[in-house]
Amino acid sequence: MGDPKTVNTADVGIRKEGKGSPSTIRLQHYSVDYAIPASSLRFSPGLEGVFHGSFRLLANSYDPDGRGLMQSASTAEANLKPESYRAALSDGFRIRQELDVPAEASFLRLGVTDLSSSYIGTLEIPLPVAVPKDSPIARREGSNPPVEPD
């Protein structure tokens, strides 16, 4: 989303390693929309017909040589009303994660862990991901709130 931004490494929690380490980094902001088959997840029935699930969203970025650059991890809690649960069963469970990735990253490895079942799934995406200029995603600035990192 948008153009890469240059930020101070200390502001994003990166420690300088050695005298020649840069004090700034260029980060690209990404919004990742997950659509996970509900059959791969475990939701527990709760009070008043609400279905509860807990998930860990992981994102690791890598340079062209496969060296790790940055990691992001978030925990998401879902409390689905019966109609939302039925929709998830037929259309998949949808969740959004927003994260910053070094602009020079070559690929992003995404993972989702279902904390109830300990099932995990991963996917690698080559970077950068181009968004068409006329896409609604390119025009909006985060219409859904991001998942808060731990």
State pLDDT tens for residues 30-50: 989 888 888 888 999 998 889
Q: In whole angstroms, give the CA distance from residue 56 to residue 12.
A: 21
Q: In whole angstroms, give the CA distance from residue 41 to residue 85.
A: 12
Give me the architecture of the 35-98+105-139 domain, per CATH: Sandwich (2.60)
Q: In whole angstroms, give the CA distance from residue 109 to residue 148.
A: 19
Q: Does residue 21 register a pLDDT over 50?
A: yes
pLDDT value at position 60? 95
pLDDT value at position 142? 44
CA distances to 14, 24, 132 from 62, in Å = 15, 18, 24
| Angle (CA) 30 27 101, round 5° | 50
Give the type of residue at 146. Answer: P
State pLDDT tens for residues 89-137: 999 899 999 999 999 999 999 999 999 999 999 999 999 887 767 766 5
- Please name which of 103, 115, 22, 23 lies closest in space to residue 63, comparing C-alpha atoms: 103
